[in-house]
Amino acid sequence: MATGSSDLRDLQVTDDTRGDEYPLVWEAPLLGIDWGESRIGLAITDASLRFSEPLAVIENPCSFVPPFRIPPKSGDPIKRICTQKDVKGIVFGVPWYHLSGDPNPKSNIFVEYGRLLRCLTGCPVFLWDEGLTSDALQTKGGGGRRKSSRRPRRSRDPIDHYSATLILQSFLDECINSRQDRS
């Protein structure tokens, strides 16, 4: 189902923010993606679709200004994972709102990258509110800055795959597990 790269160049950002339709029966595994400006976090579900686990962090050289393209450095690993793990769908985190509650104008860029991923992998893409997962992890894990710290800055380990895990788990809990629990 993947299309040629010339087809990807013709895609335009639109106001259509729908992802793919949710299926009546879900199949495992699903891949969760936290798309960032410098890194992409990946997570995957277990066979029962009950739990998600961190998978990988890959560098993201993608631009947030047109034309939007997924270069091989980030696209090839995602496509390889989808093939090797036989991924049935992608849960793609979109930052719909700012902390203030105002709509995020960059959300359409994330939606566009979700569409490009659908073309690249051939997998359905389900858009999901990422709900400030990276911020939540930094606050919860003590990644926040202290005002009086005099220690030199050290490089922080990437947390993007943990953010992807939170995105994917919230999707599982809301869309899949809550339905199964009611049955």
Q: What is the pLDDT of residue 31?
A: 98
Question: At residue 138, what is the residue type?
Answer: Q
Q: What is the pLDDT of residue 154?
A: 46
Residue the block writes with tokens 């259509």: 16
Task: Name the CATH superfamily housing domain 27-99+106-142+158-182.
Answer: YqgF/RNase H-like domain (3.30.420.140)
Residue ranges per structural domain of the chain: 27-99+106-142+158-182
pTM above 0.75, yes or no: yes
Q: What is the DSSP string of 105-119?
A: TTHHHHHHHHHHHHH
Structure tokens at 68: 């939007």
Q: What is the pLDDT of residue 82?
A: 98
Confidence of residue 135 (pLDDT cuts 50, 70, 90): low
pLDDT at 19 over 90: no
Strand 89-94 and strand 52-59: the pairing is unpaired
Per-residue pLDDT averaged across 144-173, rounded? 72
d(CA 79, CA 102): 34
Q: What is the pLDDT of residue 137?
A: 62
* 76-105 pLDDT, tens digit each: 999 999 999 999 999 999 999 888 889 999
* 100-116 pLDDT, tens digit each: 889 999 999 999 999 99
The per-residue b/e assignment along 89-103, b for 16 or more CB within 10 angstroms, e otherwise, is bbbbbbbbeeeeeee
* 37-86 pLDDT, tens digit each: 899 999 999 999 999 999 999 999 998 888 999 999 999 999 999 999 99
CB atoms within 10 A of CB 18: 7
